[in-house]
């Protein structure tokens, strides 16, 4: 009997209910979210879910579940008025409940701006849902799969939003204790997207080319649909956009801090003043000088992200991420060189392979690796500022031979914190400097 090669067999059908997430900031983008959700609602067995979070600070959430023939709004009262609690207490159980219905063949999540698609997808994959009648406790990802993440942006306003320093609370989009900036949400919505819908007004050729250059470097694999007039948006347009999403799209996958920083094949040459800057170093940053140098990321830069090695924290991988005037710095686990043999063995295989290629006899896998997307900044100035922040030769000798002395250096990045309401929902130990110049 001939046994077929498993690699040549067609994949087993995925019986989970597909979920499409649609995100956008208030204004034209939010109108686009509603129009796209309505277009997808025309499909057989589609359900649109929207949580209205404008009253979240009072502990009130309005949830609407819409089908082609019905719409039902439920007012929810939460003990803790936060986005994470809304996810855990209502959205995730609702996904499991809807997926169990044979009549539901696709779920569309029209996300409130306070919801971040990445956090929702991570919760779908990781958070254990309990208390759903007739269902064994477990993540919602057992019942649903992310088909696509679509992000709408206002082509005339998005770049200004993505490079500003206004907080969500200042714009009336979140509670006063939410320190996220509009830029962090605007950039995050696009960075996590499988496809982008850029909504008018029509831009002149230079503005459109510049915005296109930013998108091509931020999400190189994501197709972009340019819509000058939402009234012309039809269901066929949305279906065509979904069909253009490439097989390698992330579709809700979460990449950790040790994944490659450049995803897809973004252009590496400057275009219309837009450029990607790669910065790598085999020595750590001096924390005090880095704190001063980071001002260079607040002018003319859309976003920066990467792993940094701080001289005062030789065991910790430090993750840095900025968007406009918002900066977030937090812990991302330990360097392999600081782990025991058993811990290294349990570490991700790809991470170990990449670390082996650049392993240093003295410092192991410790290094600095940053990618910066600039739209109106001098790359040479950014590189100069970051090089200045690295330890000098005499300091490097202390790092190697007298780490106890280095540990006494002033370290502005020494205190990590996590939102206690998240309760492990999305692990994000972070120190946030959300406004340009604060703490400088």
The CATH 3.40.50 domain(s) of the chain lie at 17-244
169 three-state secondary structure: coil
pLDDT tens over the chain, length 440 residues:
555 555 555 556 789 999 999 999 999 999 999 999 999 998 789 999 999 988 887 889 999 999 999 999 999 988 777 788 888 889 999 999 999 999 999 999 999 988 899 999 999 999 999 999 999 999 999 999 999 999 999 999 999 999 999 998 888 877 667 788 999 999 999 999 999 999 988 788 999 999 999 999 999 999 999 998 888 888 889 999 999 999 999 999 999 899 999 988 999 999 999 999 999 999 999 999 999 999 999 999 999 999 999 999 999 999 999 999 899 999 999 999 999 999 999 999 999 999 999 999 999 999 999 999 999 999 999 999 999 999 999 999 999 999 999 999 999 998 643 333 444 333 333 444 434 444 33
C-alpha distances (whole Å) from 69 to each of 41, 91, 106, 113, 355 are 10, 22, 15, 26, 55
Query: Hey, what CATH topology would domain 17-244 get?
Result: Rossmann fold (3.40.50)
The CATH 3.30.1220.10 domain(s) of the chain lie at 275-433
SS3 content of the chain, % helix, strand, coil (to 5): 35, 25, 40
Q: What is the pLDDT of residues 68-115, one digit of tens each?
A: 999 999 999 887 777 888 888 899 999 999 999 999 999 999 999 888
Q: What is the CATH number of domain 275-433?
A: 3.30.1220.10
Whether pTM > 0.85 for this model: the answer is yes
- Asked if 183 and 167 count as a contact pair (C-beta separation under 8 A), the reply is no
Pairing mode of beta strands 138-139, 128-129: antiparallel
CB neighbour list of residue 163: distance below 8 Å, 6 or more residues apart = 183, 300, 301, 302, 324, 325, 375
Query: H or E stretch including 214?
Result: helix 205-218
- Asked if 182 and 164 count as a contact pair (C-beta separation under 8 A), the reply is yes
Count of alpha carbons within 13 angstroms of residue 351, beta-carbon side: 20
């Amino acid at each position: 009997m001939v046994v077929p090669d498993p690699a040549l067999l067609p994949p087993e059908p995925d019986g989970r209910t597909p979920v499409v997430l649609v995100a956008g900031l208030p204004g034209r983008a939010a109108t686009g979210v509603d129009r796209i959700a309505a277009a997808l609602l025309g499909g057989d067995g589609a359900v649109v879910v929207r949580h209205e979070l404008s009253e979240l600070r009072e502990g009130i959430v309005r949830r609407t579940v819409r089908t082609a023939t019905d719409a039902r709004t439920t007012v929810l009262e939460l003990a803790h008025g936060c986005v994470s609690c809304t996810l855990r207490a209502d959205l995730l159980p609702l996904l499991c409940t809807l997926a169990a219905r044979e009549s539901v063949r696709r779920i569309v999540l029209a996300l409130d701006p306070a919801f971040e698609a990445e956090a929702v997808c991570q919760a779908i994959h990781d958070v254990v849902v309990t208390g759903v009648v007739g269902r064994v406790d477990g993540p919602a990802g057992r019942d649903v799969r992310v088909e696509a993440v679509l992000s709408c942006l206002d082509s005339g306003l998005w770049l200004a939003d993505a490079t500003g320093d206004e907080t969500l609370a200042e714009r009336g989009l979140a509670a006063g204790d939410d320190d996220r900036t509009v830029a962090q949400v605007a950039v995050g919505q696009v960075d996590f997207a499988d496809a982008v819908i850029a909504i008018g007004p029509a831009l002149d050729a230079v503005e459109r080319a510049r915005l296109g250059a930013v998108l091509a470097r931020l999400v190189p694999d994501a197709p972009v649909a340019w819509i000058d007039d939402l009234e012309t948006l039809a269901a066929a347009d949305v279906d065509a956009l979904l069909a253009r999403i490439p097989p390698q799209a992330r579709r809700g996958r979460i990449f950790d801090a040790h994944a490659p920083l450049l995803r897809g094949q973004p252009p590496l040459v400057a275009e219309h003043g837009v450029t990607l800057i790669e910065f790598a170093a085999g020595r750590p940053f001096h924390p005090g000088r880095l704190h001063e140098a980071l001002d260079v990321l607040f002018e003319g830069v859309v976003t920066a992200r990467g792993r940094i090695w701080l001289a005062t924290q030789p065991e910790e991988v430090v993750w840095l991420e900025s968007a406009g005037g918002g900066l977030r710095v937090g812990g991302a686990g330990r360097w392999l060189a600081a782990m025991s043999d058993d811990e290294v063995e349990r570490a991700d295989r790809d991470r170990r392979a990449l670390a082996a290629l650049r392993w240093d006899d003295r410092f192991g896998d410790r290094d600095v690796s940053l990618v910066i997307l600039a739209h109106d900044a001098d790359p040479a100035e950014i590189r100069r500022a970051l090089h200045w922040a690295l330890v000098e030769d005499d300091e490097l000798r202390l790092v190697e031979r007298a780490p106890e002395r280095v540990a006494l250096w002033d370290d502005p990045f020494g205190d990590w914190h996590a939102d206690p309401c998240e309760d492990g929902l999305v692990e994000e130990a972070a120190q946030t400097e959300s406004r340009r110049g604060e703490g400088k």
